[in-house]
Amino acid sequence: MNTICRRHSVLTFFLLATMTGSHAGGWVDERGVALPDRENMRSAGSFLVQLRLTSDEAALRKSWEEAGGNPTLDVSESIPVGRPISTVLTMTGCKPNPAGQCDVMAEFSIIAPDGERTRLGAGYLWKAAPLTPRFMLGSASLTLVFKEKDKGKAFRMIATVEDRVASKVLELSTPLKVE
């Protein structure tokens, strides 16, 4: 496995196609019905974060920037050997500091098939004024490329997200199969 960390400064937004956030706290669907947290979709009050994997991060970010509504996102839970896969995070509800800026960090890890957890890097997810109640595509991301020796193996991508102003920490995960 080769690791490439990339950070982007994109101040754009996206309302999730099937889910929206709630200021009252927690996830709700498009009809306002409460949804439970999932491994890739966590909440702490009004702070909501979702973890996604994409095989084309540049296209995802472009689609996000240009969206007048809800773009179709190329998300995946598997990747062929030698192709990049990126871990991206969307969020809403970060707490601004007295200057009006959120301070949200993300740390990325991977759990190998043998259960070993490896830290892969960290970066600012959002260090700007919040776009709440809109979802924001985080600036930090992680891109991996797997080798032939990883073919057929199942990994788990982990993102630990901290709203440093609100002192809230969420851990999200999603499976990743190398084909």
Write down the mean pLDDT value for the chain.
Answer: 85
Q: Is the pLDDT of residue 66 over 60?
A: yes
Q: What is the DSSP string of 12-76?
A: -B---SSEEE-TTSSEEETTS-EE--BTTEEEETTEEEEEEEES-HHHHHHHHHH-SS-------
> What spatial distance separates the first Cα and last Cα of the chain, rounded to whole Å?
13
Mean per-residue pLDDT, 100-122: 98
The set of long-range contacts for 20-29, using a CB threshold of 8 Å and a minimum separation of 24, is 20/133, 21/46, 21/48, 21/92, 21/93, 21/133, 21/135, 22/46, 23/93, 23/132, 23/133
Q: Lowest mean pLDDT of 35-39, 58-62, 100-104, name the range.
A: 58-62
CATH number of 2-178: 2.60.40.3880
Burial pattern 51-77, b for ≥16 Cβ within 10 A else e, equals: bbbbbbbeebbebbeeeeeebebeebe
pLDDT tens-place string over residues 5-39: 333 322 222 333 334 444 457 898 888 899 999 99
149 exposure class (CB count in 10 Å sphere: 0-12, 13-18, 19+): exposed
pLDDT tens-place string over residues 138-168: 999 999 999 999 999 999 999 999 999 999 9
| Half-sphere exposure at residue 162, Cβ-oriented, CA atoms within 13 angstroms | 9
Ordered by start, the domain boundaries in the chain are 2-178
**pTM given for the model:** 0.84
